[in-house]
Copies of this chain bind each other. A is one copy, B any other.
Amino acid sequence: MDNVIDFINVHRDRYLEELKALLAIPSISALPEHAPDVRRCAEWCADEMRRVGLQNVRLVETPGNPVVYGDWLGAPGAPTMLFYGHYDVQPVDPVELWDSPPFEATVRDGELYARGAADDKGQVFMHLKAIEAFMKQNGRLPVNVKMILEGEEEVGSNNLDDFVRGHRQELKADVVVISDSPMFDRGVPSICYGLRGLAYFQIDLRGTKTDLHSGSFGGAVANPAYVLATMIAQMKDKGGRIRIPGFYDDVRELSDAERAEFRKLPFNETRYRKELGAPKLFGERGYTTLERVWGRPTLEVNGLLSGFTGDGAKTVIPAVAMAKISMRLVPDQHPDKIAQQFEAYVRRIAPKSVELTFTRMHGGKPWMTSFDNPFVRAAGRAIAKGFGKEPVFTREGGSIPVVSTFQEELGIPSVLFGVGLPDENAHAPNEKIDLGNFHNGIVASAIFYQELAGVAVHA
C-alpha cells in the first residue's frame, strides 16, 4: 500500500495538469449547442480509463448522451465496487461573475477554479488516479472495479435508469461508490448518509397574444407577470412552510438522535451567513439551518422571466410570464406524487384570465442509508487515514437521483465518498476544488479500495 501512496505523492503536479485538460471541455448538458463538447468529453474520459489500466472501455449509447464504461475484474473472491460519476457540467451563466474563465482552470490560493472542478470532474478524476497508482505499482487492484460515467446528471439523468435496468447483469456489484458531494467543512471530512430528492417544473402563463402598451390597455386585462407573482406567493406561508395540499404527508420527521448529532457538528451560523453574503438566514420555522437543508423539503423559484428586462423603462404589459420552480424532497416523498399534487394546486390557483402551461421537467427520489453498513465503515476508515481525522456523519441537501436507482435496480447500497467543500460554488460562478482535498482524496480513494478488499461478500 505504501508504494501506491508514494506514487500518488510523486505525481501530484502531473495530476493537476491532466485535470485541467478535462476541465477545459465545456460539457454543458443543459445547452444543446454544447452537444459536441459533451461527446468529446465522453471520449476523453474513455481514453483516460484506458490510460489508467481499465479494460472493456467503451461508450454505451443512450437516447441522450453516452455512458462511459470501463472495468477491471482481476480480483476473484474480492468485492466488486461499481463507481458512478458524471462528466457533464452545469451552465456557466452569469458568466460575467466568474473571476477567471470557467473552462480555463486556474489555481488561486491553493484552490482550482473551473466549472466541474468539484461537481463532478475533479472527484471522478481522483478515483481514476487512485486506480492508475495501483495499476502502475502493483499491476492490479485490490478489488474488482466497474466504472460508469454518465453525461446527463445535470439535466436529470433521464436515461440512466434505463441504462442500469438494461445492464443489470454487467453492473452486478457489491457496493456503489460515488464521489459527488462536499465534506462537512474544510478540515472536517465526512460520510454522507442521506440525500434530498428533486422535483422540477416550469410554469408558463399567457395573458394576451402580444405584448401590449401599458397605457392604452393597462387596467383591461390580467398581467401574466403579476398573476405569476400572486401564484408563487401562494406556494409557501410566511413561516416558509409549503402550502401544496398533501406535500408533507410522506415526510419522515428528523429523529431526536439525528437532531442531536447535527447539533454537535461544528457549524457556525454567522460565518455561514457571511460566506453566502446573506443579510439574514431564512427558512422553515421550527428547524435549525442544518435541519432545514438536510432534512426538510423546500420549494424554490429557480428562474423568472417576463416582459422588458433591459436597461431603462419600457411601458409594456407582457404577453407571457415564465417561472422555473423546483422542490427538494426528503424521505419518503416521491417526485411523481409531488408532481401530481403541485400540478393540481397550480391549476387550482391559476385564474381564468390567463392560459397556463404546466411542464414537469424532472424528478429524483430522496435517499438514506444506515451508519453500520460495512462498506460505509470501510469508507470511514479510509477517510480517517487519508485525511488524518475521523469523519463525521452528515446528510446533504442536494440530489443524486441515481443512488435510489442503484438501490432499486441492483439491490446494493451506495457509499458517498465526497471531498468537495460547502463553498465550492457548484452550480454557481467560480466553482472550485481545494487542491489539498483533491490530493488527500486520491490517497483516501486508494486506501478505500484496500479496505473494501477486506469486507466479506457473498462470492
Contacts and interface: CB of A to CB of B under 8 A. Distances in A.
Interface of A: 30-32, 90-91, 93-94, 97, 155-156, 182, 196, 198, 200, 202, 207-223, 225-226, 228-230, 232-236, 240, 272, 276-284, 289, 292-293, 296, 298-318, 321-324, 326, 328, 351-355, 361-362, 396-399, 422, 425-430
Contacts of A354: 279
A394 B439 CA distance: 77
15 contacts: A32-B311, A210-B277, A212-B427, A213-B428, A216-B293, A217-B276, A219-B292, A219-B296, A221-B276, A226-B299, A229-B229, A229-B232, A302-B313, A303-B306, A304-B306
A268 to B, nearest CB: 13
Given A292-B220, A293-B216, A314 B91 contact: yes
List 4 tightest A-B contacts by C-beta distance, closest first: A215-B398, A209-B277, A219-B292, A233-B233
Given A355-B279, A398-B216, A313 B301 contact: no
A321 B301 CA distance: 10
Contacts of A234: 233
B300 A211 contact: no
A150 to B, nearest CB: 16
Which residue, A229, A276, A321, has most C-beta atoms of chain B within 10 A?
Answer: A229
A270 to B, nearest CB: 13
A198 to B, nearest CB: 7
B429 A210 contact: yes
Contacts of A212: 276, 427-428
Contacts of A312: 30-31, 155, 361
Contacts of A307: 301-304, 324
B302 A398 contact: no
Nearest to A209: B277
Contacts of A210: 97, 277, 425, 428-430
Nearest to A232: B229
Given A155-B313, A214-B427, A218-B293, 19 more contacts: A32-B311, A91-B314, A198-B315, A202-B313, A210-B277, A213-B428, A215-B396, A217-B293, A223-B301, A225-B323, A303-B306, A303-B307, A303-B308, A303-B316, A304-B307, A304-B321, A305-B305, A309-B322, A314-B427
A274 to B, nearest CB: 10
B221 A281 contact: yes
Contacts of A427: 211-214, 314-316
Contacts of A305: 304-306, 309
Contacts of A272: 220
Nearest to A90: B314
B304 A182 contact: no
B422 A279 contact: no
A216 B429 contact: no
Contacts of A304: 225, 228-229, 304-307, 309, 318, 321
Given A219-B292, A306-B304, A313 B30 contact: yes
A192 to B, nearest CB: 11
A256 to B, nearest CB: 20
Contact of A303 (B30, B225, B399): B225
Contacts of A351: 280, 282
